[in-house]
Structure 1
């Protein structure tokens, strides 16, 4: 596979996943009382709403910029697991497809990291020479 195309594909997934979470986190902050009330209605503490909103907003920004990509991807993966186990619990597959997609795009970021056009690449460890194993 052409490595440039693979990198562009990963970049697009990272950026658009990040944008989705920036929007969702911002929306939660704009209606924080309602979000807290919703959290309480499904058995979660209301104080968790601003925490989740912050993780979504900051995590989304981190993904777009490629800063702490693995950490942001892991944190957002945890958020999506929480969504599926609480707010979406018991819903049929047709109602959770988007949430599953977000779960796995975040898991991908946690596993792969920022790579192409990411601030992370300027701070990462250099690969030793001769260790170019391609998968």
Structure 2
């Protein structure tokens, strides 16, 4: 835990190229790599809404188990060019107590950011779910969109 906290603090010291204020709309997810023969059908329409300000964000959404979840995080982004960027969200998320035994599970979501126009982005993320549920799926690909102000 001390190493994870030290890594988080090191990332917090990095500059962030994000816009100051964004509205985030979670859209969908796709679950991959079922770890057992007893895989369950999970919700892959994860609608919700969130806000980001100065790289800190909060999102409310319907999670893969059709429960309400709230994620709080800090983003770190690198713009490769005006239309593409890389980022990661680091924080915690609620709504997975039945699977993990924890009220808040760690969130580490790297993503590819596609910006077709300067105020709109589509984020394609990867969430390794080993901390949440190792019995069903090992990877979730996510899609959300952000509007920058």
Measured against the shorter chain, the TM-score band is under 0.3
Question: 1 or 2, which has the higher helix percentage?
Answer: 1
Q: Which has the higher strand share?
A: 2
Q: Which has the larger Rg?
A: 1
TM-score by length of 1: 0.23
Alignment TM-score, normalising by the size of structure 2 = 0.22
